Amino acid sequence: MNYEKIKKEIKEFVDERDWEQFHTPKNLSMALSVEASELLEIFQWQKAEEYKHATDEQKEMIRDEIADIFYYLVRISDKLDINIEDALIKKMKKNREKYPKELVKGKAVKY
């Protein structure tokens, strides 16, 4: 994935529409929540294994929502000068400390 290319593509899209003025962290995080909810809606009433048999149309809807979520994550991180890769690596370190594999392996409940 070429993160700089993605940021450039998004910036051009925003600039062409003069939307920078609306892209505050508050507004972007609200939009991110809406898009995450739209992804959730696709799976809302499915049985546990039903996702494995998604139609092409459903997969396209899922891809679109994932792309929208990613778009807003990139916009928020860009506005706040946060490197997503660095943030993920740091958070995974915290997660490893918070959820030691010896205590949580194969368990879905909090220890």
- Minimum mean pLDDT range among 14-28, 35-49, 66-80, 96-110: 96-110
Residue 106 maps to a domain: no
Residue 38 in domain: yes
Which pLDDT score, from 0 to 100, does residue 14 have? 97
74 in any annotated domain: yes
Residue 111 has pLDDT above 80, yes or no: no
Report yes or no on 110 lying in a domain.
no
Range of the domain at 61: 3-82
User: Tell me: the pLDDT tens digits for 32-70?
Assistant: 999 999 999 999 999 989 999 999 999 999 999 999 999
**CA separation, residue 11 to residues 15, 23, 29, 40, 63 (Å):** 6, 11, 17, 27, 21
Q: Is residue 111 part of a domain?
A: no
CATH (domain of 38): 1.10.287.1080
Asked whether the predicted pLDDT for residue 108 surpasses 90, the reply is: no
**Number of domains observed in the structure of the chain:** 1
**Other Cβ atoms within 10 Å of 56 Cβ, number:** 7
Is 105 part of any domain? Answer: no
Q: Contact 29/76 with Cβ under 8 angstroms?
A: yes
| 61-92 tens-digit pLDDT | 999 999 999 999 999 999 999 999 999 999 99
Q: Give the global pTM.
A: 0.88
